[in-house]
Structure 1
Amino acid sequence: MGGAADAKKAPFGSSLMSVFMHADAADVALMVLGLVGAIGDGISTPAMLLITSRIFNDLGSGPDLLQEFSSKIDENARNLVFLALGCWVMAFLEGYCWSRTAERQASRMRARYLAAVLRQDVEYFDLKVGSTAEVIASVSNDSLVVQDVLSEKVPNFVMNAAMFFGSYAVALALLWRLTLVALPSVLLLIIPGFMYGRILIGLARRIREQYTRPGAVAEQAISSVRTVYSFAAERATMAQFSAALEESTRLGIKQGLAKGIAIGSNGITFAIWAFNVWYGSRLVMYHGYQGGTVFAASASIILGGLALGSGLSNVKYFSEASAAGERVLAVIRRVPKIDSGSDTGEELANVAGEVEFKNVEFCYPSRPESPIFASFCLRVPAGRTAALVGSSGSGKSTVVALLERFYDPSGGEVALDGVDIRRLRLKWLRAQIGLVSQEPALFATSIMENILFGKEDAAPEEVTAAAKAANAHNFISQLPQGYDTQVGERGVQMSGGQKQRIAIARAILKSPKILLLDEATSALDTESERVVQEALDLASVGRTTIVVAHRLSTIRNADMIAVMQYGEVKELGSHEELIADENGLYSSLVRLQQTRESNEVDEVSGAGSTSAVGQSSPFIG
């Protein structure tokens, strides 16, 4: 994702703030309460040792003095109960407040990220590296890293820091001689916690990140399961999935070795205990200290050192979360060249629908060395139907992309009713345009909701009217659940003709002034093409329509036909006008198509087939 390099260069202190950039006033209150809870939770352990030292000393006074100290023992026992209640409250605040604010901030971050991505121009997605599944997994990992740091690592760090300072404060207060002598052992105590936190948990995170690769393989295989079945590619898919798991397996073995070393290194605490007991015994014998004090001070020293090691291991995750937060913020802060979220721009009071391309120059951002248009000119009068024909790569679909303002030309202008579309408010402009593509995009929801995508607040009667105009109402009504029928992922439950008619109904519901048909019938059989073409003819009435033609049958009745080649309009006129020129480019394309159709018929007839063979072949191959 963009901004990764900037995230690495940013100072740690400033980039760390990106983790908390999505907090509101309620989150600040939750984090303050969570900090209080984490500090209280960390201090509770040394406080318990302080009270316990007094109880041990009283119990060690012997049977003769025990009756005298019984009231103190009772008092300290009550203090332990009060401490337990206070610890419960502090631990609850720590766990609840940090988990709650982490979920709130992570949810807000994901929502802002999606809104920012939907705001980006098409160029952003053209230049993005990686598959959709990998990009989604990367974003998911970034948000999970931030959420994990907020919910666990920050409170854990604060709690361990409080435990360290509290433990050594208690140890110094109880037995400063022992504490100063044992202070160098802190370095040894840091090792177990630091190894466990930094190495072992770090490996676990790398394993989780590695699972995105086999996850992407599984996602692609399941989403295209029919293709996998049709090519009997189950074995190859499993081999690819297993190969993607090899790295995580290697890391798992490494994790097991690190876990054994980290847990085994905890044995060093017993050696430090032995030294503290030995030196503490000398303090009891020669300096008059009590055994309970020696025990509590020794325990405080060891627990404080282990807490410091565990707390320092979390610093690594603050750096990771900062980088993740910076990557997300880089997308959120990115202002695209074509900003669909901007409300600036003009709105025309009355839209006639005249479209004109004036000396347009353009090349795709991903291929700047290959210009598509050098000086492209075309005018489509309001309410007329214009067809674009030509060989692949001639720039037909680019006309649609520029009119939708997916891209801006590097030179010239695209005008709507004489106004450069770059001066118009982008959302308003796209609301005037309906697009039906060669491969219609349906969402995994009901037919009703797919059609409502064209106009979210439309009444059911409007949806039905749009479906009738798209020649889709009859087949929808025959379905068991009617308009509530689920279309499946990417419309897999619908046939090609049914998907196209649903897409046309969605465009009609939008009631656009301009209708763009980008090879809308190219992938259909003859009967489906006829039905869909009838729906398109009805939808085109009273609208400016631009048809990217794939078959002759779809453009014969167009008001004007533009024959394109190498990004230029070579011929312009009606079908009759263009076909009259036997040496023209349009006539050659028509003859080429007719020749292909004749060859296909001859091949089928020679094979003895009795099936219908009327499907039109591509206009140009």
Structure 2
Amino acid sequence: MSSSASQTSNSPASNQTAASSHNKSSLARLSGLFPFMRPYKKQFLLAALALIIAAGATLAVPYAFKQMIDLGFGAAGDKNTSHIDLYFLALFGVACVLGVATAARFYTVSWLGERVTADLRSAVYAHVVLQSPQFFETTKTGEVLSRLTGDTTLIQTLVGTSISMALRNLLLFAGGLAMLFITSVKLTSIIIVMLCAVVLPIVFYGRRVRKLSRASQDRVADASAIAGEILNAMPTVQAFTQEEAEARRFGASVELAFQTAMERIRARSVLTMVAILLIFGAIVFVLWLGAHAVVQGSMSGGELGQFILYASLVAGSLGALSEVLGDAQRAAGATERLLDLLETQSPVQSVLLPERLPPRTANGAALQLEHVGFHYPSRPDSNSLNHFSLDVRPGETVAVVGPSGAGKTTLFQLLLRFYDPQQGSIRLDGVDIRFLSLHDLRQAIGIVPQDTVIFSANAMENIRFGRPDASDAEVIAAAQMAAAHEFIERLPEGYQSFLGERGVRLSGGQRQRIAIARALLKNPPLLLLDEATSALDAESERLVQSALEAAMVGRTTLVIAHRLATVQRADRIIVLEHGHVVETGTHAGLIAQNGLYASLAALQFNAD
């Protein structure tokens, strides 16, 4: 069902966030980083202090050169030569202050970049894992990973480098401009008029760089999504000999990302070239005028030297600001993509004041579904369940059978509140599950899915995933109930054996028994089995069936069944077709009715 649903390209949540994001300018989206920066005010103040001291020391250097030239070398005599040592010592002192302040600024802002980026990654990941399956129907895992890695790296550069550089160069620009006016009002006025004329085209062209930056990030995310999808399906790709085709598809995606990146790089290169040529061209022209003023005697050599140094600081700071603006625009695109994730709200939420389940009884949980109607958000015209009603008594085992697409898996997803039905209600022990916290609801339900998930950890931790606070003895007991203990003990390191990514070191039946042990360790009052024995051989099935029969004692159990051995052990069988309950009863009774169940038994249960 999910594969069909995933064909849609846009979810309501993503559309809403995309619309809201486009209403804001790109750089304005950087304000979304403030909540992550606010806890570190002290560190930002320390960085600002170091920045101001370093900028002040830098601005003092040209003045020290002017004094040294005019007073140290400008006239002959013992009085002037005796000051040379003092001026050089003063210049070295300024360099010492500059070095210490710059090192302090670098350390502080680098720490801030790493810290803010780590907080942002954690916040995005923590938010993503709370999303409902509807989010993952329309968002590729590779794209999320790209945002968690590539986009956060851009933000790390912004916070840890670019912001500091921007503030430093703004201070140097403002201070240098002030000193230029003090040195020569005429020359400075000319240079300002010329700079205003060259800044406008730089700003206009910068907009194109911003758009190309966002496009480049999107293409890299697309390539990551393709790689993630294929790497997770390598056995299938190789079984159908599609290695070369998939390599070509990924190569085409990478090439598109490269071409888009080159467009951005070319635009950025042109922007940098234009900025340097125009700005320094204007400064060189003004300095030519200053050289004539020295020759004419209206300006001293030291003043011209000071003017040159301050003009270089102003020009350099402007050039650096254009570079920082490019980084800021890329980081703004990355911030926009990350905030889109953070702003996405799951349609399934816990209520603010949740109700509590009554104390657990010895027989398990009672379950009532009343006139439930549901369609997947991606398929609003096709109902998966229609006026579905079911009353399950505590301790009862109910088998759910039906043809593919009848709504069996949908039923389990609604019970776990991966989705909410559009009609009707679901009650667990008399409490509407919409009024329970998601944590309490899912803690009361154990599930063994047909597609078993094994994590990249050892056997002990994979089973303990069902209840993280369980002791080793409890984990081993659950494994014994699931007939998994024997094969785990035969592994090279027993329960400490690493099972490989997605359990590649285990057979299908072994993976399924690990999943059963995980559910049994959780010890829930309601147990959902999505054909828990489908991947087992006859001997393993016999062992697991006896273990499941023991595990079902004191629990309410719903079983999606495709095998006769599972169905025959159920207290009751319900037959689904097109989201409706069409038959209900025991195995023998339904066979005698000679209806849909009888035909399913003849086809699906024939092997048994």
Q: Distance in 2 between matches of 1:553 and 1:511?
A: 23
**1:451 alignment partner AA:** I
Q: Distance in 2 between matches of 1:328 and 1:552?
A: 49
SS in 1 for 2:418: coil
320-329 vs 512-521, greater mean Cα deviation: 320-329
Q: Distance in 2 between matches of 1:90 and 1:144?
A: 26
Alignment partner, residue 22 of structure 2: 8
Q: Distance in 2 between matches of 1:184 and 1:367?
A: 62
Instruction: Give the conservation status (yes or no) of the 8 Å contact 1:198–1:313.
Output: no
What is the CA-CA distance between 1:394 and the residue it aligns to? 1.2
Alignment partner, residue 230 of structure 1: 239
CA RMSD of aligned residues (A): 3.0
Alignment partner, residue 11 of structure 2: none
Alignment partner, residue 432 of structure 1: 444
Q: Deviations over 1:554-600 (max 9, x none)?
A: 2112111111112121221111222222x322222222346x64xxx
Instruction: Give the conservation status (yes or no) of the 8 Å contact 2:26–2:333.
Output: no
115-124 vs 321-330, greater mean Cα deviation: 321-330
Q: Which of 413, 418, 424 is matched with 2:425 structurally?
A: 413
Alignment partner, residue 316 of structure 2: 306
**1:103 alignment partner AA:** E
Alignment partner, residue 391 of structure 1: 403
SS in 1 for 2:83: helix
SS in 2 for 1:23: helix
Q: Distance in 2 between matches of 1:247 and 1:462?
A: 53
| Distance 1:310-1:209 versus aligned 2 partners, 3 A rule | farther
Q: Which of 498, 511, 523 is matched with 2:523 structurally?
A: 511
| Distance 1:198-1:476 versus aligned 2 partners, 3 A rule | same
5 Å-filtered alignment, 1:369-380, equals 369-380=381-392
Q: Distance in 2 between matches of 1:72 and 1:192?
A: 48
Alignment partner, residue 54 of structure 1: 67
Alignment partner, residue 78 of structure 1: 89
| Distance 1:125-1:342 versus aligned 2 partners, 3 A rule | farther
Alignment partner, residue 23 of structure 1: 37
Q: Which of 122, 137, 144 is matched with 2:146 structurally?
A: 137
Alignment partner, residue 6 of structure 2: none
5 Å-filtered alignment, 1:439-478, equals 439-478=451-490
Alignment partner, residue 380 of structure 2: 368
Alignment partner, residue 608 of structure 1: none
Instruction: Give the conservation status (yes or no) of the 8 Å contact 1:119–1:339.
Output: no
Number of residue pairs matched by the alignment: 591
535-544 vs 361-370, greater mean Cα deviation: 535-544
Q: Distance in 2 between matches of 1:382 and 1:307?
A: 75
Check if 1:120 corresponds to 2:131: yes
Q: Distance in 2 between matches of 1:206 and 1:44?
A: 41
What is the CA-CA distance between 1:416 and the residue it aligns to? 1.9
Q: Distance in 1 between matches of 2:281 and 2:454?
A: 67
Q: Deviations over 1:501-533 (max 9, x none)?
A: 000000000011111001223344444444443
Percent identical residues: 35
Moved over 6 A (4+): 11-14, 191-205
Alignment partner, residue 52 of structure 2: 39
What is the CA-CA distance between 1:445 and the residue it aligns to? 1.1
5 Å-filtered alignment, 1:200-211, equals 207=216, 210-211=219-220
SS in 1 for 2:235: helix
Q: Distance in 1 between matches of 2:316 and 2:159?
A: 22
| Distance 1:206-1:79 versus aligned 2 partners, 3 A rule | farther
445-454 vs 4-13, greater mean Cα deviation: 4-13
Alignment partner, residue 250 of structure 1: 259
SS in 2 for 1:379: strand
SS in 1 for 2:309: helix
Q: Distance in 2 between matches of 1:552 and 1:345?
A: 39
Instruction: Give the conservation status (yes or no) of the 8 Å contact 2:152–2:334.
Output: yes
What is the CA-CA distance between 1:402 and the residue it aligns to? 1.6
Alignment partner, residue 248 of structure 2: 239
TM-score by length of 2: 0.88
Alignment partner, residue 69 of structure 1: 80
Q: Distance in 1 between matches of 2:268 and 2:211?
A: 11
Q: Deviations over 1:153-206 (max 9, x none)?
A: 211111111111111122222233332233334347769997998888986786
Q: Deviations over 1:99-142 (max 9, x none)?
A: 2122212211222222222223333333xx34211232134344
Q: Distance in 1 between matches of 2:250 and 2:171?
A: 46
Alignment partner, residue 180 of structure 2: 171
SS in 2 for 1:296: helix
Alignment partner, residue 577 of structure 2: 565
Q: Distance in 1 between matches of 2:366 and 2:284?
A: 91
Instruction: Give the conservation status (yes or no) of the 8 Å contact 2:388–2:581.
Output: yes
What is the CA-CA distance between 1:247 and the residue it aligns to? 2.5
Q: Distance in 1 between matches of 2:112 and 2:499?
A: 38
